């Protein structure tokens, strides 16, 4: 309720600060009987962790996850799963005058005004580091959904700054530090190198897709699947926009174009992005999001201090020049958490529903 | 939990179907002691109701609201406020073959697959008519927020199909059927007339703004103000994309541009759209959304019937060729409900916080 | 969240005041596809309604329920079910000096201090009349649970004032105005007549039982089945104590006695009352509750007025001298709502669990 | 939602198993700016921990609490507070045939049937050990409530088995291992020694009281203060009955007796137990609960094994012969959590209410 639990039936409660002793989460509601070990989770954490290329923050964190509860003899017991990640490379000394000034575009200002005090070490609670436990929780959701429904989650970088990235193939994504679906990322490397040299940061666009999603997920009027996806994505640090399917492109579409026709072989297009009326169609969930440039840059900025006096702010320390670069596994995880939640809700209310749709309709359109 | 309650502390539970006897909502959590009558609510309902111009559905509904509970001697008592709107112009006969076919782009398909049955009369529960109770609830929230903090909510049409609408002035908005902030809407009228003649529908972009929002609203890590706004907006019928502040424009911005500088006189820009780290800055909340073209059009479409056989679908009856036209008051209402929720949450947890910020910082940047 | 919604997956939001135009509730989360009509609900409402004997309030209310939404062609659609009961016999003039004094033992005092104002007409929101919508919602839950699991709910009066009522048979319960499980209620009639003559009121003890409850319902650590039952029962007007199984009798039991032995034929006793570790055993749920004497009596009482000055209070109007008399159907309904909620939760999280217990264990112990 | 979070605005999520590496909780919603250290919490943990007398389990646990997050420079930051308690004295070998049999009166049976598997080590999740994190969370709530409103929480043993314990003085409570409010506990010691010798266990009655509770707490219709107290207490391991104020004694009271008269000097009695209409009166909250005899006893019991075959069960290992003995600090903590929750809710909805009641009314009646 104070905003640190994501989900209701598959509820993930997040805790910790960037430079505290540990971060983690508690998952409540995981179905019992699923095989689960740290190894099932560590892979996604490794995809997100810092320090893996020169294009991201140089903080060195193994982000090794420990399962503290909820698993017995290798299986989930249905009781809360506490996942703990110790912080090992905190360096709070790096933070210069951010203790008493406000970085333009940063949560410094709002945290102080909301709570009356703030933990400034590494951004405290507002740090993107707190997405790590969500990636861990998402890995649990992904595993269950895959085993139950064959659902898979994939994401990639679609744009860095002005550099639009064409989609070549999913198979390229793991082979470069940008999660870019292209074979050759030299253009992106040059772009990032120039940006870093300029002491500036840039935005990005991320795309994330879920396939083999069961039809019927989503709870209108309000807890629609797309509404919950928008909630999840906009809640990721630095996200400023979210699209489902055609997204803002739908503004200039006609109804005759946008509405995805159906045939006995399935949907013939997917402008809807896998959701109609807030409920999954069984097609791929197609989500896109805009990520703003990080506010922690070394270029001096005009600001004020906590007394309201003019101040120049320079952020030293270790920061991502484009937070979008590590956002792909985060977006996948959040999407998985949304789908998981709705899969459980669906069988709660509609567990007896059995619509004899031709199987072929379940094909991706 | 089955998705028909919006909000937690200011919780609005929506009920009814397009062609049932009545629609309405129950507001739980309204602070006591506020003057409230039907007249305070009817104004916004009238802005949303159908049949007011040739550019929207010709269904004729007065949408007269009745307060059934929660108000005594003209004041809210703190107990649930039930608002009832009777349906008076249902014509279920108009619906042709939609009973046993699926309209491309419509919730027909997903409702049937989720619940195993559906009320097809006027779209049943999936009808945009169900936004009326939210507009009513939003009017209650707007009133309280204005009296408490001076907060105001305004919205306008920013684009219809390809027709981008420049912002001239808020004062034009009430003077045309499009909620367009321009003096001359002849271009939009011609556009809509041509569209209707073509038997097609189009998308739109809506902008909505809240001013004089208290600083400090929003509950990270998840129930961030912007995340809840995205949830609220994406949940409105036909919305496919949501932006806060710079939105997708942030992708190509640099950190030096995007991060809003601060001065002793306040913020110097508002790329953030009034939210940093998921918490309100005190600046205007700036929200934009994409609305898809309605799926109920008279042009024949390729589809299937409920047995999976090919079928051509034509939607007769009364429909909006651009559902965006009536979306402005809906978006305002949903934004008001989000701000209301967070205003109550904020005083629950942080009611004792008192940050002595220079008053001038509370100015709109 | 402001306390007027009961349940989460099967969520019942209650609205209305004793002397307002109507009372009612919205049920969100009812599984789709169940046959439902007003007739399925009216029976329980008739068991609860006032004016049916000289031992209860003479307010004359048909308590006729209308289904406003959520049912199409006789079946639940899975969307919110709004149930409306119009108030037809309000007589607000009867209330003498209760407008500006506090009845000892009544919610007058606390409502005013909580909300700053209160609707005094018939007790406003604090009236036991507001249990009617819960009885209606409970009837919906009972129907689904019976059709799905064969679960049944029964209750009876166990004690009125000093008069302990032996259990003879469930079949007597519908045949007397006290819900007493005895053939001859003349003793109770005399007791109540004398009490009324004395201008006083008395307490009661109610017993309620659910049979054929699925094993496995309840969500420890906190949302235990017995904890939720205690919550539901203590929340009924005038309840001051709740017991499960042996209840306070367990204080003087030994472990060798209290712990219900198991045999291949099932449990050999039911001191547990059908719950172990907060989870249903499959045995009968056995619940008992204490109901206080009503505070609205004609005998003058010492109190104060709203200015804090001494005042004598006499309550005229129409009141139950023993609110326990009409409490049985209310307690049954609340128990049904709790079981319903947990039945849905159980299949959400544990829908795949299949423990091959000998069938005979499912027998009542 | 899967039942491991207590509270909504002050939400405590509990995790861990009796013999896992650690147990703990995450508190979300603590107001910011409160001084908090481990020392503020350890005291109550020490009151609850095992091994402190011969009358309780001999498991030796320091129950040392660590604050992992949510506190910066000694003050709460308003972000989640993770409290961790490492398990140091697990001895899973002690558990004999409980792996494949069901102890009469124990959660073994229901956990297996609910989840399909269970962690049998020390009772796993069903162990009373999991109350330790709640005692820790309760200490945080107690501190805030005391600093804000002067609210205090006290509890004592009222009965062990047949031994009713007269109330002499609160000051005796900390001076004996039973939390008994009497100077001489030799009778209780003899009682327990005989019981242990007999290889049996017994029940208990606990009383818990909150003083200086603000008037106006509680959210009817359902989230009444007394309903939430009943929920909290019935959810404590082994509790079978809960009373508020007169409790079951109210059954035989008359309205003229039960209803607490008011005078300008305050209430003249407290049969209500501090709650009217589900809302606090400002008087002491008076709560009583029945605790069943523990099911883990060395006397052989008739039961079955997991294949449904007859089996004799003997529980070795370390167990409390009367779980009520250590229940007092648990009950206090749970009561504090309920009051805390409602204190925050009250200022959310009714933060502007200001009833000018004579101050004297706030006196304890």
A58 in Cβ contact with A50 (< 8 Å)? yes
- Decide: residue A162, CB within 10 A, 0-12 exposed, 13-18 middle, 19+ buried: exposed
**Contact predicate B217/B226, CB 8 Å:** no
* DSSP string for B63-124: --EEE-SSEETTEE-SS-EEEEEE-----GGGGGGGGTB--TTSTHHHHHHHHS----GGGG
Chain C: closest CA distance from residue D32 (Å): 22
The pLDDT-based confidence of C320 (bands split at 50, 70, 90) is confident
- Residue-wise pLDDT for B118-128, tens only, equals 888 888 999 99
- Please report the pLDDT score of residue D193 as a whole number: 94
Number of domains into which chain C is organized: 1
- Kindly state whether B78 is in contact with chain D, defined as any CB-CB distance less than 8 angstroms: yes
Average per-residue pLDDT for chain B: 93
Of the candidates A14, A215, A226, the beta carbon closest to that of B234 is on A226
Q: C1 in contact with D at a CB cutoff of 8 Å?
A: yes
Rounded CA gap, A250 and A272, in Å? 9
Would you list the DSSP string of A51-114? SSSTTS--------EEE-SSEETTEE-SS-EEEEEE-----GGGGGGGGTB--TTSTHHHHHHH
Q: What is the pLDDT of residue C1?
A: 62
The answer to whether the CB atoms of D75 and A117 lie below 8 A apart is: yes
Residue B51 — pLDDT band, cuts 50, 70, 90?
confident
Confidence of residue B360 (pLDDT cuts 50, 70, 90): very low
Can you tell me the mean pLDDT for D252-268?
Answer: 95
Q: What mean pLDDT comes out for the span C58-72?
A: 93
User: Residues C250-266: pLDDT tens digits?
Assistant: 999 999 999 999 999 99
As a whole number, mean pLDDT of residues C77-90 equals: 94
Instruction: Search chain A and give the residue with CA nearest B279.
Output: A110
Interface test with A, best of B113, B269, B305, B335 (most A CBs within 10 A): B113
Establish if A31 touches chain C: CB-CB under 8 angstroms: yes
* Tokens matching residue D153: 């929480």
> Is D82 within 8 Å of A14 when comparing Cβ atoms?
no
Instruction: Please name which of C225, C203, C61, C73 lies closest in space to residue C133, comparing C-alpha atoms.
Output: C61
3-state helix, strand, coil in chain C (%, to 5): 35, 25, 45
Does residue C263 belong to the interface with chain D, where contact is any CB pair within 8 Å? yes
Chain D residues with beta carbon closer than 8 angstroms to that of C361:
304, 308
Residue count (chain C): 365
Tens digits of residue pLDDT in B168-206: 999 999 999 999 999 999 999 999 999 999 999 999 999
Host H or E run for residue C135: helix C132-149
Q: Are the Cβ atoms of B248 and A227 closer than 8 angstroms?
A: no
User: CA distances (Å), A166 to each of A132, A173, A365, in order?
Assistant: 28, 12, 21
- State the average pLDDT over residues B43-64: 88
User: Which pLDDT does position A149 carry in this prediction?
Assistant: 97
pLDDT at A358 over 50: no
Which residue of A76, A224, A348 to mutate against C (max C Cβ within 10 Å)?
Answer: A348
The pLDDT value given to residue B362: 46
CB D115 within 8 A of CB C350: yes
Question: C161 pLDDT band (50/70/90 cuts)?
Answer: very high
Work out the pLDDT band at A121, boundaries 50, 70, 90: confident
Considering CB atoms only, which of B11, B32, B81 is closest to C116?
B32
Of the candidates D4, D33, D81, the beta carbon closest to that of A28 is on D4
Comparison of pLDDT for A125 and A52, the residue scoring more: A125
What is the nearest CA distance from D317 to chain C, expressed in angstroms? 16
Give the 3-state secondary structure of residue B284: coil
Could you tell me if B90 lies within 8 Å of chain C, comparing CB atoms? no
- A·C CB contacts under 8 A: 51
Contact B350 D8 (CB under 8 A): no
- Strand A239-244 with A163-164, pairing: unpaired
Least confident range from A83-97, C24-38, C276-290, D154-168: namely A83-97
Residue D242's nearest CA partner among D250, D251, D233, D252 is: D233
Per residue in D86-104, pLDDT (tens digit) is 999 877 665 666 788 999 9
Phi-psi map region of D124: left, alpha, beta (phi>0 left; psi -120 to 50 alpha) = left
Round to whole Å and give the CA distance between B188 and B196. Answer: 12
Query: What is the pLDDT, as a whole number, of residue D122?
Result: 84
Q: What angle do CA A290, A292, A294 make, to 5 degrees?
A: 145
Tell me whether residue D359 is exposed, middle or buried, using C-beta atoms within 10 angstroms of its C-beta: 0 to 12, 13 to 18, 19 or more. exposed
pLDDT of residue D59: 79
Cα C116 to Cα B212: distance, rounded to the nearest angstrom: 27
Average pLDDT, chain A: 93
Is residue D118 classed as helix, strand or coil in its secondary structure? Answer: coil
Q: Do D125 and A79 touch (CB under 8 A)?
A: yes
Task: Tell me whether residues C250 and D104 touch, CB distance under 8 A.
Answer: no
Q: Which of residues 155-194 of A touch B (CB under 8 A)?
A: 159, 161-162
**CATH assignment at residue D68:** 3.60.150.10
Cross-chain residue pair A299–B241, CB shorter than 8 Å: no
Please report how many Cα atoms fall inside a 13 Å half-sphere around the Cα of residue B143, on the Cβ side.
23
- What is the distance in angstroms between the Cα of D115 and the nearest Cα belonging to chain C? 6
Average pLDDT over residues A63-72: 97
Contact C262 D303 (CB under 8 A): yes
A123 touches chain D (CB under 8 A): no
Mean pLDDT across chain D: 93
Report whether pLDDT(D134) > 60: yes
Nearest chain A residue to D341, by CA: A1
- C355: contact with A, CB 8 A cutoff: no
- The DSSP 8-state label assigned to residue D183 in this structure reads S
Torsion of CA C327, C333, C339, C340, to 10 degrees: -160
B297-341 pLDDT, tens digit each: 889 999 999 889 999 998 877 778 899 999 999 999 999 999 999
In which domain, by residue range, is C186 found? Answer: 5-364
Could you tell me if B29 lies within 8 Å of chain D, comparing CB atoms?
yes
Residues within 8 A of D (CB atoms), C 299-338 only = 299, 301-304, 308-310
Residue of chain C whose alpha carbon sits nearest to that of A8: C8
Could you give the C-alpha distances from C167 to C171, C173, C179, in angstroms and in order?
11, 10, 11
C365 pLDDT higher than 60: no
Give the pLDDT score at A94. 57
Q: Does B58 touch chain C (CB under 8 A)?
A: no
Q: Which two tokens stand for residue D270?
A: 């407290």
Is pTM, for the whole model, over 0.95?
yes
Contact C31 A347 (CB under 8 A): no
Q: Mean pLDDT check: name the lowest of A60-74, B113-127, C14-28, D46-60.
A: D46-60
For the segment D68-72, the average pLDDT, to the nearest whole number, is 97
For residue range C210-252, list pLDDT tens digits in order: 999 999 999 999 999 999 999 999 999 999 999 999 999 999 9
Mean per-residue pLDDT, A163-182: 97
| Of residues C10, D341, A342, the one with CA closest to residue B9 | D341
The model's confidence at residue C360, banded by pLDDT at 50, 70 and 90, is very low
**Partner B contacted by A270 (CB < 8 A):** no
pLDDT digits (tens, 9 = 90+) for A195-207: 999 999 999 999 9
CA distances from A253 to A257, B292, B295 (A): 6, 7, 12
Query: What is d(CA B113, CA A357) in angstroms, rounded to the nearest whole number?
Result: 8
Give residue B365's pLDDT.
35
CB contact under 8 A, D350 and B32: yes
pLDDT at C363 over 50: no
- Binning pLDDT at 50, 70 and 90, where does residue B279 land? very high
C353 has pLDDT over 70: yes
pLDDT of residue C188: 97
pLDDT above 90: residue C121: no
Model pLDDT, residue C52 = 82
Find chains touching chain D: ≥3 CB pairs under 8 Å: A, B, C
Q: Quick one: pLDDT band at residue A365, thresholds 50, 70, 90?
A: very low
pLDDT tens column, D217-245 = 999 999 999 999 999 999 999 999 999 99
Chain B neighbors (3+ CB pairs < 8 Å): A, C, D
Task: Note the pLDDT of residue A362.
Answer: 46
Q: Measure in Å the smallest separation between the Cα of B249 and chain C Cα atoms.
A: 38
Q: Give CA torsion, residues C268, C270, C275, C281, to 10 deg.
A: 30
Across the interface, which of A32, A33, A348 has its CB nearest the CB of C345? A348
Cα separation, C290 vs C241, in Å, equals 5
Q: How far is B16 from chain A (nearest CA, A)?
A: 11
**Cα distance from C348 to chain A (closest Cα, Å)?**
4
Contact C349 A8 (CB under 8 A): no
pLDDT for A53: 86
Does the interface ipTM go beyond 0.95?
Answer: yes
Q: What is the pLDDT of residue B130?
A: 97
**Hey, which bits of chain A come out as E strands?**
5-6, 11-16, 22-28, 65-67, 71-72, 75-76, 81-86, 152-160, 163-164, 204-211, 239-244, 262-263, 266-267, 275-276, 279-280, 285-291, 301-304, 310-313
The residue among C222, C223, C356 with the most chain D CBs within 10 A of its CB, best to mutate, is C222
| pLDDT single digits (tens) D325-357 | 999 999 999 999 999 999 999 999 999 998 765
Residue A332 has pLDDT above 70, yes or no: yes
Distances (CA, A) of A39 to A43, B30, C294: 7, 48, 62
Q: Are A79 and A60 in contact (CB under 8 A)?
A: no
CB contacts < 8 A, A to B, total 404
Residues of A in contact with C353 (CB under 8 A): 32-33
Does residue B358 surpass a pLDDT of 60?
Answer: no
Residue D361 has pLDDT above 60, yes or no: no
pLDDT band at B356; cut points 50, 70, 90: low
Smallest CA–CA distance, residue D334 to chain B, in Å, is 19
pLDDT band at A153 (very low <50, low <70, confident <90, very high): very high
Reported in sequence order, the residue ranges of D235-330 that DSSP labels E, i.e. its strands, are 239-244, 262-263, 266-267, 275-276, 279-280, 285-291, 301-304, 310-313
Partner-chain contact A253 B294, CB within 8 Å: no
**Amino acid C152: pLDDT:** 98
In this prediction, residues C112-120 reach a mean pLDDT of: 92
Alpha-carbon distance C70 to nearest alpha carbon in chain A (angstroms): 13
Q: Which of C3, C103, C302 sits opposite D219 (nearest CB)?
A: C3
Q: Which residues of D touch A112 (CB under 8 A)?
A: none
In this prediction, residue B96 carries a pLDDT of: 63
Question: Tell me: the pLDDT tens digits for C4-28?
Answer: 999 999 999 999 999 999 999 999 9
Beta partners for residue C267, in sequence order: C262
Greatest alpha-carbon span in chain A: 68
User: Which whole number is the average pLDDT over B219-230?
Assistant: 98
pLDDT at C356: 60
């Amino acid at each position: 309720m104070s905003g640190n639990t994501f989900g209701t039936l598959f509820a993930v409660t997040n805790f910790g600060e960037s430079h505290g002793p540990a971060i983690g989460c508690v998952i409540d509601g995981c179905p019992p009987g699923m095989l689960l070990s740290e190894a099932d989770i560590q892979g996604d954490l490794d995809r997100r962790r810092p320090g893996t290329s020169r294009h991201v923050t140089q903080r060195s964190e193994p982000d090794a996850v420990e399962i503290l509860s909820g698993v017995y003899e290798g299986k989930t017991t249905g009781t809360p799963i506490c996942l703990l990640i110790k912080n090992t490379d905190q360096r709070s000394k790096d933070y210069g005058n951010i203790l008493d000034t406000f970085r333009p575009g940063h949560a410094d200002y709002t945290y102080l005004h909301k709570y009356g005090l703030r933990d400034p070490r590494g951004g405290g609670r507002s740090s993107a580091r707190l997405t790590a436990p969500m990636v861990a929780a998402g890995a649990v959701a992904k595993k269950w959904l895959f085993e139950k429904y064959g659902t898979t989650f994939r994401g990639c970088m679609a744009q860095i700054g002005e550099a639009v990235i064409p989609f070549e193939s999913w198979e390229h994504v793991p082979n470069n530090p940008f999660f870019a679906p292209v074979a050759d990322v030299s253009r992106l490397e040059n772009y990032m190198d120039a940006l870093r040299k300029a002491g500036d940061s840039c935005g990005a666009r991320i795309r994330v897709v879920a396939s083999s999603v069961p039809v019927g997920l989503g709870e209108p009027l309000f807890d629609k699947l797309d509404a919950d996806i928008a909630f999840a994505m906009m809640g990721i640090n630095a996200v400023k926009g979210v699209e489902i399917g055609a997204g803002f492109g739908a503004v200039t579409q006609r109804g005759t174009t946008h509405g995805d026709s159906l045939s006995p072989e399935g949907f013939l297009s997917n402008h809807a992005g896998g959701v109609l009326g807030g409920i999954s169609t069984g097609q791929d969930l197609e989500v896109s999001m805009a990520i703003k440039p990080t506010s922690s840059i070394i270029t001096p900025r005009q600001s004020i201090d906590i007394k309201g006096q003019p101040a120049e702010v320079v952020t030293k320390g270790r920061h991502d020049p484009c937070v979008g670069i590590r956002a792909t596994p985060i977006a996948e995880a959040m999407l998985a958490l949304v789908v998981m939640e709705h899969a459980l809700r669906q069988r709660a209310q509609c567990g007896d529903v059995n619509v004899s749709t031709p199987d072929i309709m379940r094909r991706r359109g």
